[in-house]
Amino acid sequence: MNRTLSRWSQWGVLLLGLLFAAAASADDDVYDFEMIVFERPSAVVGTFSPETSGDPGAVSVAGRLDAMAIGDKKLGPVAYTLRKKGMLVLEHIAWRQVPRGRDSDTWYEIGDGRLGGLIRLTRGRFLHLDADLALREPGSDQPVHIKFNRRMRSGELHYVDHPKLGILIQAERYTGAADGDSAESPSSGEPKPAQPDPT
């Protein structure tokens, strides 16, 4: 009898360990992100209200996205087409990251020169992109501020429209496969839920 209980206890401990490992794996999903920020040179931008400008408040800046950059850029043809249409591609970067929880205050710096600002990628039921960017206009002391939030699904190309800027961003779950096949296929849909989305 004791031997049977001991065997069941061992199985129970093993099962709990597997459940915890599965939960940790879900929380630590790695994604490949790619983003293009482009400017419409001829666009005229009016005055923005305080709700669409300013900084994101008290934040923790973890570093620059450039430091996490990976070489595999799949949106190169899109960037080429934008340039051919007269747009100015201000930033085109691809990076790998484990998104933090929705309550994270960790942001990353992006841009240099005319474009600068902070972005944050978090994960609840969906992936979420928050951005607070500033575009410095030649001959003007007042930068154009762009602040937005976008809910994302992996494998989909998302577009954020603005009178002066356009932002394209795509996320794909990284599977650790061989180079050239590092992420899931675009048809794989949204990420697995990690925690309830408070919004």
Number of H helices, E strands in the chain: 2, 9
Per-residue pLDDT tens over the stretch 154-166: 999 999 888 888 9
Listed range (13-22, 24-33, 58-67, 99-108) with the worst mean pLDDT: 13-22
Q: What is the mean pLDDT of residues 164-191?
A: 65
Do 73 and 92 form a contact (C-beta atoms < 8 A)? yes
Which ranges constitute the DSSP H helices of 39-156?
Answer: 76-84
Domain layout of the chain by residue ranges: 29-188
Listed range (48-52, 56-60, 67-71, 83-87) with the worst mean pLDDT: 48-52
Do 104 and 123 form a contact (C-beta atoms < 8 A)? no
Tell me which DSSP letter residue 74 carries: S
**Type of residue at 138:** P
168: left (phi over 0), alpha (psi -120 to 50) or beta: beta
Query: Shortest CA distance to 48 belongs to which of 178, 135, 166?
Result: 135
The β-bridge relationship of strands 60-64 and 127-135 is unpaired
Q: Tell me the whole-structure pTM to 2 decimals.
A: 0.69
